[in-house]
Amino acid sequence: MSRAPLGRFYSQAVGSPGVPPSEKHYIGKLFCTRVYMDYNATTPLEPEVISAVTDALRFAWGNPSSTYLPGLKAKDIINQSRDSIARMVGGKAEDIIITSGGTEANNMVVHSAVEHFWKSCVAEKGARERGHLLNGSRVLPHIITSNVEHDSVKIPVENLLKTGRADVTFLPVSMVTGRVEAEDVVSAMRPTTCLVSVMLANNETGVIMPVREICERVRAVKRPAFSPRVLLHTDAAQAFGKIHVDAQDLGVDYITIVGHKFYAPRIGALFVNGPGTSTPIHPLLYGGGQERSFRPGTENTPMIAGLGKAAELVTTNLAAYESHLLDIRLYLEQRLLAVFGEEKVRFNSHFPGSDTLPNTCNVSILGQGLQGYQVLSTCRRLLASVGAACHSDRGDQPSHVLLNCGVPYHVAANALRISVGRQTSRQDVDVVVADLRDAVEHLEQMN
């Protein structure tokens, strides 16, 4: 199937001349007016993924729990997809639990850690009311995470803290490296620590966290006999399809997988290293026996088929994807420097000694009246963001992630998150940088 660069697509303007209403927002046409560079927010479906989804809709419509042919066909597709997801993450098929997306997967991990804490307390000290004495002291489960996590980790643990059901430590990232440092994680540990959750790569800065080192250091800590096991989780939503991810190499118990970040449908999965045997997992929902009762509900076969196909593409093509993304991002940064100059450009995704995602450029164009939202609203071609898509309702407020990374307020206010994709071309970059130049010149004239 031939296709045009996925960076281009139709104008968002309603009623644009020559564009049928039914084709608004369609990606993949040459005669387009916008260039999409917000691939950290979401990605279009690859053609092979669309084919997998539509084939499942047509031919695998049966209930996967049924024993006749349409149901068996659906079950076979789900099993094949589970195998493909497992290969992508470096695990086994039985380690993969299909979820509705990353938010559900992250909530399941937090819930499971707290449940496991109390079950461990009961086993060690006998049945007691939650929150009462353990080894002579009043205790709650303790969770360690960072101050740059996605809201689907941050808000669930904040809720536990506010309702008195857990203690939570939000570790600040280093303002030098932009990372959570392993030494800080170890220093924050308590006898009651039951979960460490640190994202693999940040969605705004692109900084890759030292998850492997964190896991090694945490597992090496000598714990009191009554202490629960410390479960280790990483939200890898931004990593798949951009960098190599291997569960065994990282040493984690859980990995969150989010399909729409790597050209799959809006569905997800959770890797659990030996679910229910080696690693505890407790369901959020109760119902039928689907997903071994860890996540009941009749399976969404077409979306699972799409997720499996996207995972297969990542396993096969990751080296090429990563090389292309890095080439385009470096070219983008070169062009920004060439057009605006070093004194006017600040890259908020550059931290000494830290690796970053190959596709992510967080940049501020310095100057009064050049706030990120103002620049983007003035651009005629570029479609990007000022930060996480889930924070888009916060208007002109600077990203808390950038502020927590030590980026000055006036610099963070001007930030643009530009994230390139598999089909983004150097021509797209030239168009976008020219568009930014025109937008900045217009705003400067207004000021």
Looking at the annotation, which residues are catalytic? Answer: 390
State the Cα–Cα distance between residues 232 and 147, nearest whole angstrom. Answer: 17
State the Cα–Cα distance between residues 402 and 409, nearest whole angstrom. Answer: 9
One-letter amino acid for residue 258 of the chain: V
State the Cα–Cα distance between residues 225 and 317, nearest whole angstrom. Answer: 46
Tokens, residue 129: 């009311």
State the Cα–Cα distance between residues 335 and 177, nearest whole angstrom. Answer: 25
Please list, in sequence order, all residues whose beta carbon lies within 8 angstroms of the beta carbon of residue 340, skipping any fewer than 6 positions away.
365, 437, 440
The secondary structure element, H or E, covering residue 138 is strand 137-138
Beta pairing class for 360-365 and 415-419: antiparallel
Q: Where in 70-202 does DSSP place strands (E)?
A: 96-99, 133-134, 137-138, 142-146, 167-171, 193-197
- Rg for the chain (alpha carbons), in Å? 23
SS3 305: helix
Tokens, residue 75: 């079950």
* CA dihedral sign of residues 281, 286, 291, 293: positive
**Which residues is 345 bridged to in the sheet?**
365
By C-alpha distance, which of 214, 153, 160 is closest to 183? 214
CB-CB contact of 218 with 232 (8 Å): yes
**Which residues is 34 bridged to in the sheet?**
9
Please list, in sequence order, all residues whose beta carbon lies within 8 angstroms of the beta carbon of residue 283, skipping any fewer than 6 positions away.
108, 293, 294, 295, 296
CB count within 10 Å of CB 140 equals 20
Tokens, residue 385: 């963001």
